[in-house]
Chains A and B, each alone.
Chain A
Amino acid sequence: MKLLRHQVKWEQRLFWRSRESAVFVFLFPILLFALLTAVYNGHIYGRPASWALLAGMIGYGTANTAFAGLAITLVSRREIGILKRIRATPLPPAVYLTAVLVSIMIVFAIQVASLFALGRVLKSTPWPSHLLSLVPALALGVAAFAALGLAITAFIRSLEGSSAVLNVIVLPMAFLTGSFGPTRHYPKVLRAIGDVLPLKYLLDLINGIYLQGQQLWDKPTAVAVLGGWGLFGMAVALRTFRWEPREG
């Protein structure tokens, strides 16, 4: 426990000190939200557009922070030998990875709080009400995307390509699943692709809870699919995760 606290503290310092992670991971979804609410008016899902965009941006933020941000961090540490070096210390690998995840969750929590606060200031969006549903839903989302982020590190071979590869996954996924606006006017094929992606189900949960006032247990399918993606990511990560850089 002491080790975990120590490592979380240092992970936080590492995160905020790196301009790349602080801007790309933390700030980007918030900036995007400010932009989108400035240009979209009218109603989405029967609510003011800014409400739905806020929900969409929380979903996008989950994928961006827990999946892309985590994967880039781990790939870069792996390729320059930090992960390998850490393995030679008494810090248990499980504690290390847990600390990285906890740190990502802290970043995400601050991001979500900032999004709600910004929405409130700019467009008077309401504070979330069903916190007992929303917090577990977001925690499930972060966990599932973090598991997928761990899994994908094995398929990214170099640091140079990692941020491009991840954006090529995350941005279209966010677009296809409705983070940036509803998808019901999209062509059928695109909607069908969106329907298998995990972000779709996380957005389902967030929209249901924040916009429709539903509870987590009103959405068993979404919980199950999201959990399934998380377990799949975990299974792949357990088999493929590497601590050492490619032999050079």
Chain B
Amino acid sequence: MSAISVRDLRKSYGAYEALRGISFEIQEGEVFGLLGPNGAGKTTTIEILEGYRTRDGGDIDVLGFDPERAGSAFRERIGVVLQHSQLWPNLTVAETHRMFAGYYEHPRNVDEVIALVGLDEKRTARVKTLSGGQKRRLDLGVALVGDPDLVFLDEPTTGFDPAARRAAWDMIRSLRSLGKTILLTTHYLDEAEQLADRLAVLRGGVIIREGTPSELTSGSSETEIRYRKDGQEVVIRTSEPTRLLQHLTAEAVAEGRELEGLSVRRPTLEDVYLSLTAEHQE
């Protein structure tokens, strides 16, 4: 069953078209990544699905609701981590969780949630004393305290140091193992590749590619071969790497020279992403 279905979603701010008809489906229990550079329309999309913004056109269904008109019953079932938001500096971690837990019919156990997001040792610490990464974990804990079926994460690790990002990734993976559906936006490729079951690349308000991370990389059939000849770097992209390599190596062996600095590389998601976004820029 699909948790989210979006068809031909459109949104303009004045004359600026932020979303120019995007469509995608997210299955229950899936981690779906919306990937794209700043200004691509990621936050607009996620905020329409959360019910913060109205749409100009298209059909959306989130857990059987139209978020634009949905009320408390919808909000019982979603958890939200906003891109920029803080919580009360003078409450403790545990108090903040308890306050939010009171808004839901069937909240999760507050101590369990605090343990899940790794803030055990900070239970009685005031929010203002937490580090940036810990505050983000608090945001996540508060998003989970209502035991949502669907969790929206808008750039959950932006501004993290590498260790904090790894920790956040582990946490998001543990959410998936709880069976939550997750919609995640990010402009970090490695994050999308690490976490998402499927992802859509958004650019200029349109989805330019969609699939699993490995589909996205294998969809591009090119392999890159690099070596140096007479001190010059040679880069060849080919869809027939075996034949080309045989030809190159045979030639080199026949001439009794070395293919210096030879490397054969499959494109990473980053290459695909950069080439995709570059193509569409032109």
Contact = CB atoms under 8 A, between A and B. Distances in A.
Interface in A1-40: 3, 6-7, 10, 13-14, 17-18
B87 A85 contact: yes
B281 to A, nearest CB: 24
B149 interface: no
A189 interface: no
A235 interface: no
B91 A14 contact: yes
Contacts of A168: none
A84 interface: yes
B160 interface: no
Contact of B86 (A3, A81, A244): A81
A19 to B, nearest CB: 9
Which of A13, A14, A17, A89 has the largest number of chain B CB atoms within 10 A?
Answer: A89
Nearest to A19: B90
Contact of B146 (A3, A14, A85, A89): A89
A5 to B, nearest CB: 9
Contacts of A92: 71-72
A82 interface: yes
A42 interface: no
B201 interface: no
A88 B90 contact: no
Interface in B122-176: 142, 146
B80 interface: yes
B91 A88 contact: no
Interface stretch (B24-32, B97-105, B218-226, B264-272): B97-105
A121 B80 CA distance: 52
A90 B104 contact: yes
A18 B99 contact: no
A142 to B, nearest CB: 24
Given A17-B90, A84-B52, A85-B80, A91 B85 contact: no
A3 to B, nearest CB: 7
Contacts of A248: 84
A84 B76 contact: no
Contact of B91 (A6, A7, A17, A90): A17
A80 B82 CA distance: 11
Contacts of A90: 72-73, 75-76, 103-105, 146
Given A3-B102, A10-B99, A88-B75, A245 B80 contact: no
Interface in B164-190: none
A87 interface: yes
Contacts of B102: 3, 6-7, 10
B50 interface: yes
A62 B146 CA distance: 37
Given A89-B75, A90-B146, A84 B103 contact: no
Contacts of A245: 84
B168 to A, nearest CB: 18
Contact of B87 (A3, A82, A91): A82
A120 B99 CA distance: 39
A91 B85 CA distance: 18
B85 A85 contact: yes
CB-CB nearest 3 A-B residue pairs: A81-B85, A90-B72, A88-B80
Interface of B: 50-52, 71-73, 75-76, 78, 80, 82, 84-88, 90-91, 95, 99-100, 102-105, 142, 146
18 contacts: A6-B99, A6-B102, A13-B91, A14-B88, A18-B90, A80-B85, A82-B85, A82-B86, A82-B88, A85-B142, A88-B51, A88-B75, A88-B78, A88-B82, A89-B100, A89-B103, A90-B103, A245-B84
